[in-house]
Amino acid sequence: MLELLEEMVNIHGVTGYETPVREFVESKLPKGVKKNVDNMGDLVVTIGKGKGGIIFAAHMDELGMVVAGIRDDGFVRIKSLGGIDPRIMPGRILRILTTKGEVRGVVGIKPPHLMPDRTEMNKVIQFEDMHLDVGADSGDEARKMGVEILDPVTFHKTFEIINDKYVAARALDDRAGCTILLMAIKRLAKKKLKKKVHFAFTVQEERGLRGAQLVGHQFEADYAFAVDTASSGRVPSSEPAMGPAVVGGGPALRAIDNRHISDPAFVREVKTVAERAGIPVQVIFTGGGTDAAAIEVQGPKSLPIAFPARYTHSPVEMVAIKDLEDILALVVALVEEYAA
């Protein structure tokens, strides 16, 4: 799982620019599985037969940026796509995906030596005031390097295993979910099922669950599950009451978030399925929203299944390896419960 996850994390896939991620997933699918790519770019892999069934969704897109402007002096302006906290930006290395290949640059920051007023160090630099230094001495040189307006921009990423129990990386939200779905497909592809199971790799979740809306329209299902994150507040800088999910405590059933309230009876039902399979789960509330909210309005009972994460939407999102393994086991158990 970790080798596949590391590959998935390192792919360019800013929201709205998910094609490289989709192509990677398609290259790893078992031969002969039924798949569909819609006009927005969602990839849906279907196994089983019959009517109704289940949708599992995980989003391919990650938070990122696009090139917003190229200055005459060669510095590049950027615009955020999704909820990036500007506090994490100064001093970062960014990767621009151009038609000529990848161009790297650094987000510059004024050093204290050039500040007449040192209180400037306490201010958060906003995106419109940032510049990306790609090493070009003019706008023409930057363009010759391949940089163009609207080129997608991602963070330079590392993939770290911490204490043999945790993984820390950028874009675990939601490449970890995509990895879980891909592994579930490999486990279940040859299984005879009485109902269809759709594994949806969605686009533009970070811009309003847009891909999942289309998936919900296209595919009939009785149940829908989004495999995504839940922010954990159990760190020194936060209040646990703001995010009760425990990293390492097992899959988190997101009963309530900002976009979705699951049927309490259905939450208990899924919890029972997990307990019968020996999978520890935690029932939580959290902020944000997942693809389940977009799919639910088309009719299926729905519930997000989350891996608790520390430092969500940062370059060092941190999750427990055991939680990912348990969610994979829970996905398989739910297929056996509702589609076998």
Q: How many helices (H) and strands (E) does the chain have?
A: 8, 18
Q: Which residues pair with 80 in a beta bridge?
A: 65
Q: Which amino acid is present at 285?
A: F
Read out DSSP for 25-88? Answer: HHHHSPTT-EEEE-TT--EEEEES-SS-EEEEEEE--B-EEEEEEE-TTS-EEEEEES---GGG
CA dist., res. 182 & res. 199, Å (int): 8
CA dist., res. 172 & res. 8, Å (int): 9
CA dist., res. 57 & res. 43, Å (int): 10
Would you state the torsion angle of the CA atoms of residues 67, 71, 73, 77, taken in this order, to the nearest 10 degrees? Answer: -40
Tell me which residue has tokens 């930057």. 142
Alpha helices, H only, 210-249: 210-218
CB atoms within 10 A of CB 332: 17
Residues annotated as part of the active site:
205
Tokens of 243: 């995010």
Give the CA distances from residue 264 to residues 109, 198, 217, 336, in Å, rounded to whole numbers and listed in that order.
Answer: 49, 24, 24, 21
Residues 6+ apart with CB under 8 A from 144: none
